[in-house]
């Protein structure tokens, strides 16, 4: 297979498996999505979805969030982990949204990445899923699969994102990154991986990966 054929195989397989992939994190608007994605760092979507209703019942917008103290936010979000950093980030970014953006989540990478506790991946998710602006957020699943599929060298997530954007059509980025995440969780996990269940890697995977199975 040529690389172009491999890319087409990935697209067609994922489209067949996940024609309309939902956003796993529960939210109702850009602000609640931003908070949910921030909370998901080094946690699971399942755990975040248990905690966000508790948090959003008290504050689902920046104006109500700053009425809470950092300690109150931390107590609510403690089960998702990294609560000291995340609570300060949520409180801090809520103040900035009020002071600098009229309470709204900005629709550009520069302003999003200036917010406390918001990195490039979080900003990319918000840009793509809240505003429909093409982006390709790379999480551990996408980083792992792009390497297994021999579509990236796997050195770092920055390079993986560049490779993904170069190989896949821009109009597919927002859907494709969700499809790859779902596929990674279901068919190509980091642990307990069985090649017989992983049709994409079995078909186009790099030889070094296949030999180590």
Give CA–CA dist 83/47, Å, rounded. Answer: 13
**DSSP state, residue 131:** T
Q: For residues 181 and 125, is the Cβ–Cβ distance under 8 A?
A: no
Question: If residue 83 lies in a helix (H) or strand (E), which one and from where to where?
Answer: helix 83-101
Residues marked active site are found at 121, 139
**64 vs 176: CA distance, rounded Å:** 34
Please give the radius of gyration of the chain, using alpha carbons only, rounded to the nearest integer: 18
Burial class of residue 179 in the structure, from the number of CB atoms within 10 Å of its CB (0-12 exposed, 13-18 middle, 19+ buried)? buried
Q: b or e along 13-46 (b: 16 or more beta carbons within 10 Å of the residue's beta carbon)?
A: bbeeebeebeebbbbeebbbbbbbbbbbbebebe
């Amino acid at each position: 297979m040529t690389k172009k054929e491999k890319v087409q195989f990935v697209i067609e397989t994922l489209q067949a498996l996940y024609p309309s992939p939902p956003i796993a994190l529960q939210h109702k608007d850009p602000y609640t999505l931003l908070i949910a994605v921030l909370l998901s760092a080094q946690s699971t979507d399942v755990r975040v979805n248990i905690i966000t209703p508790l948090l959003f019942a008290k504050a689902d917008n920046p104006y109500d969030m700053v009425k809470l103290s950092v300690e109150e936010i931390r107590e609510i979000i403690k089960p998702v982990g990294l609560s000291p950093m995340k609570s300060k980030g949520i409180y801090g970014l809520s103040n900035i949204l009020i002071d600098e953006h009229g309470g709204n989540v900005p629709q550009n990478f520069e302003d999003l990445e200036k917010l406390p506790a918001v990195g490039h991946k979080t900003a990319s998710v918000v840009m793509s899923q809240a505003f429909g602006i093409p982006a390709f957020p790379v999480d551990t699943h996408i980083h792992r699969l792009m390497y297994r599929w021999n579509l990236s060298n796997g050195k770092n997530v920055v390079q993986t994102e560049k490779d993904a954007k170069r190989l896949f059509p821009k109009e597919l980025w927002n859907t494709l990154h969700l499809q790859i995440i779902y596929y990674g969780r279901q068919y190509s996990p980091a642990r307990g991986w069985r090649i017989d269940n992983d049709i994409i890697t079995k078909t186009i995977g790099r030889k070094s990966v296949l030999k180590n199975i």
